[in-house]
Amino acid sequence: MIVEHIPAFDLFTTSEFRQSPWVTALCEKIGKVWTTRHPMPPGHFGTYFGAMQRRTYANPWIGDLYALHECTHVATLTYDPKRAWSEWSRSMIRSEMEASLASECFAYLLIPGLREKTFPHEIWVDRYLGGFGLLEDVIRKERLRALNAPNFDDFLEHQIHNYSRQNIEWCVLWSEHLGGNTRYQAETAFRLVEKHMASPDRDATHQAWIKSLTETDGPDTAPFLKQAQAFRKVYQASNAHFGNWVFAR
């Protein structure tokens, strides 16, 4: 697998995102990001270990929402190899919360004209668009409520609640040993990432580190393949029960 260190701003393609002061500020904050065009198993969180997957979407605005989501992860992820798994998992789940708020909610408040260019079906934030002042605070509170206690008859809130369960399962899978045939097979997956990403020579050694974690070439290979394959089952089951495909019926 080859990774590239590129300016975060280069990930965005549409004028709405490239001309947004909010997006520009985010890109200036994080500077460069490590990306790859290597295909990875569905749901594999390459951004966490410095291999953000470059994706091509038929709808470029949805593609930019994906880039915004991942860049928000880069801005909110922290690395500390000494912290306990419980503290680490909380930080990962909070990062996902911030990335989801940015790409699924705040983008529609802060980028004029975006909503009509993305999804044809109803999305959760629609119920708040066109509202009143301090809307970001209201959305944040309601998002937290839906994560913890969705309304019983609200499919969109159950989608959000399902993401919370999925995040916990991801964290548990990353507490396991790396496995596979690399020299890191006996190490705990998340601690291996934390040690490397927190190291002062990370950028200088990153390409070699990624290569050392990739067992073979091919479409179904990636660093942390054991975790990728295990989470793929969770990801696919989640989509089967709570995916947006249902809106086309």
**CA–CA distance, 237 with 248 (Å, rounded to integer):** 19
The alpha carbon dihedral of 49, 50, 56, 59 has a sign of positive
Strand stretches in the chain, DSSP E: 4-7, 32-36, 52-53
CA distances, 15 to each of 114, 117, 119 (Å): 11, 12, 18
CA distances, 72 to each of 92, 101, 134, 192 (Å): 12, 10, 21, 22
Domain limits of the chain? 4-118+132-242
Per-residue pLDDT of the chain (249 residues; tens, 9 = 90+): 899 999 999 999 999 999 999 999 999 999 999 999 998 888 999 999 999 999 999 999 999 999 999 999 999 999 999 999 999 999 999 999 999 999 999 999 999 999 999 999 999 999 999 766 568 899 999 999 999 999 999 999 999 999 999 999 999 999 999 877 678 888 999 999 999 999 999 999 999 999 999 866 555 678 999 999 999 999 999 999 999 999 988
From 50, 42, 160, select the one nearest 96 (Cα to Cα).
160
pLDDT tens-place string over residues 126-167: 999 976 656 889 999 999 999 999 999 999 999 999 999 999
Length of the chain: 249
Identify how many contiguous H helices and E strands the chain contains and give both numbers.
10, 3
Cβ of 56: how many Cβ atoms within 10 Å? 8
Distance of CA 206 to the CA centre of its chain: 20
Distance of CA 11 to the CA centre of its chain: 14
Instruction: Report the predicted TM-score, pTM, of the whole model to 2 decimal places.
Output: 0.91
